[in-house]
Amino acid sequence: MKDMLSKQAIGLKPSGIRKFFDIVSEMDDAISLGVGEPDFDTPWHIRDEGIYSLEKGRTFYTSNSGLMELRQEICNYIKRKQGVDYDPQHEVLITVGGSEAIDIGLRAVINPGDEVLIPQPSFVSYEPCAVMAGGVPVIIELKAENEFRLTAKELEEAITEKTKILILPFPNNPTGAIMERKDLEEIAEVIRKHDILVMSDEIYAELTYKEKHVSIIEMEGMRERTILINGFSKAYAMTGWRLGYACGPRVILEQMTKLHQFAIMCAPTTSQYAAVEALRNGDDDVREMCIAYNQRRRYLMNAFREMNLACFEPFGAFYVFPCIKEFGMTSEAFAEQFLAEEKVAVVPGTAFGDCGEGYLRISYAYSLDTLKLAIGKLADFVERLRQK
Amino acid sequence: MREELLKIIERNSRIDLKELAVILGVEEIDVVNELQSLEDEGIICGYHTMIDWEKTSIEKVSALIEVRVTPQRGQGFDNIAERVYKYPEVTSVYLISGGYDLLVTLEGKSLKEISGFVSDKLSTLESVLSTATHFILKKYKDHGTILTKKYEDTREKVSP
């Protein structure tokens, strides 16, 4: 058949992670620090609630937007954390992970040619989703000297007549960067001035190690122009349940719900019941996990200091993003050689955008024992490279 | 730092002091001082090792014993509890609400040794009204540690 495939789909670059994954999967005895999901099991009481819902035969579709009970709990949660009100009836949509919310959120607002501002390094999905929505991705390269925060100046310089929406990915995967209140206030001012939208991906909101997470929706005039995305994967260690949500202005959510309805129908019912339990009784679990991540984060920062490896101190998510520019190798070459010689997998920074060149993403969603073992090998490797 | 420190060493009392300081984000000397005061205050009462005796060739039998007793005037249950916990084969004694008063856990070499203890020593105490002995057949989880299974990382090795 001629032209069997979509040119747009073909045009998408395959994820840089995928390529690395293929190499690592070949090695049985490799230690991986390349995982983007918690090492904890979903807390038992949450799993139990999922099992219970199955036993009771709750195996049908829910409404397209998701269980009302869950939407209500999400509104309570955001009110509790951010002090902002959403209407569970019209302003919340339960999605299949945060990823779906990113996809349909962009499709709901983009017209052909609209520019989508994407700060990088960041999660791998924003750019392809923007393209498939008919938008034009415009990359903002975040800088180590700003601790990988987005500055008002960088934002201002990237905005054009065609700018439609800014994606705000903080706390950030892969850098671990966070945006504090003063940073967000400056961003909000630029956003209001240019009258553009924001998609704030706050999937790592619960995992911050400095001050409590602050959301852009708390800033004046931002709630009505922001699609807030969050989910259960990172905070409650529920990646495999595939459950996320979007909150935002009714007009946008109506369009998103329509897309969701036609493509997905509804998010998995079992997961939704489990998520209700997570929001009602999961605060302690989140706190415990957060404390454990913070201990590992401190361990890694100290280890980098001891091996003299440059790394800004990240205060969010569960990643550190050390700089390897001193070795004069590309991130990919470094990661591949490190894997080959020491059998430890880390992800090259370039998997998250070209400006990740010169950096590695190291995940600390691993036990301290695993980290110790792997970091010992990194120290040996770095030492060898320096002696050459 | 106190609660976080206690939680860490409750799971791993052999952790290196330097490492403890690093993951808590404090100086090593602060950890040393804090541990000292926790010991002085009797908050840290000991450092034990968890052993799954099942996996050794050493024979051990443990039992839980429910004990109903008559409390004594002016002493409540303390006096009788003390008489019980002084036996070295007794590993713990708890005062319990509900259908009985004391829960005694016991370790011995054989069923015979334990039943001997119950019939000769425990039930003959004056204020003991009755006992019910439950032998432990298998330990699945003890002190928060699962004994039957090892943790296995089943995640994909690399993910975004």
CA distance A328 to A309: 14
Q: Where are the alpha helices (DSSP H) in chain A?
A: 7-11, 16-25, 44-55, 68-82, 97-109, 126-132, 152-158, 181-194, 250-263, 269-281, 283-306, 331-342, 368-387
Residue of A44, A127, A368 to mutate when probing chain B, most B C-beta within 10 A:
A368
3-state helix/strand/coil string of B116-130: HHHHHHHCCCCCEEE
What CA–CA distances, in Å, run from A23 to A217, A348, A351, A380? Answer: 41, 13, 14, 22
Cβ–Cβ < 8 Å for A213, A189: no
Confidence of residue A21 (pLDDT cuts 50, 70, 90): confident
Give the pair of three-digit tokens for residue A380: 């040996």
Q: Does A24 touch chain B (CB under 8 A)?
A: yes
Instruction: For residue A298, give the nearest of B25, B153, B160 by CB distance.
Output: B25
Closest Cβ opposite residue B160 in set A15, A298, A302: A15
pLDDT reported for residue A85: 98
CA–CA distances in Å: residue A48 to residues A232, A275, B6, B104, B155: 16, 11, 29, 32, 21
**Does the CB of A292 have a partner CB in chain B at under 8 Å?**
no
Section A134-152 average pLDDT: 98
Rounded to an integer, what distance in angstroms lies between the CA atom of residue B7 and that of residue B80? Answer: 33
Among B5, B8, B159, most A C-beta atoms within 10 A, so best to mutate, is B159
Nearest beta carbon to residue A25 from set B19, B22, B157:
B157
Q: How sure is the predictor about A364, in pLDDT bands with cuts at 50, 70 and 90?
A: very high
What number is the average pLDDT over the span B47-60?
Answer: 91
Answer yes or no: is pLDDT of A18 > 90.
Answer: no
Q: Provide the percentage of residues in chain A whose pLDDT is more than 90.
A: 95
Whether the complex's predicted ipTM is more than 0.90 is answered with no
Of B22, B25, B160, the CB nearest to A123: B160
Enumerate the residues of chain A whose CB falls inside 8 A of the CB of residue B23: 295-296, 298-299, 368
Number of other residues whose CB lies within 10 A of the CB of residue A245: 26
pTM of the model: 0.94
Looking at beta carbons, which residues of chain B come within 8 Å of A36?
A: 159-160
pLDDT tens string A343-362:
999 999 999 999 999 999 99
CB atoms within 10 A of CB A80: 10
User: Measured between CB atoms, which of A15, A32, A124 is closest to B157?
Assistant: A32
Q: Which residue of A has its CA nearest to B25?
A: A298
d(CA B133, CA A275): 42
pLDDT at residue A165, rounded to an integer: 98
The verdict on B157 touching A (C-beta cutoff 8 Å) is yes
Check if A340 contacts B (Cβ < 8 Å).
no
Q: Which residues of B touch A302 (CB under 8 A)?
A: 22
How confident is the model over A333-347, as pLDDT tens digits?
A: 999 999 999 999 999
DSSP classification of residue A14: P
- Chain A residues within an 8 Å CB radius of B155: 35, 37, 39
Question: What is the structure's pLDDT at B150?
Answer: 82
Q: Quickly state the pLDDT bin for A197 (edges 50, 70, 90).
A: very high
Q: Do B155 and A351 touch (CB under 8 A)?
A: no
pLDDT greater than 90 at residue B72: no
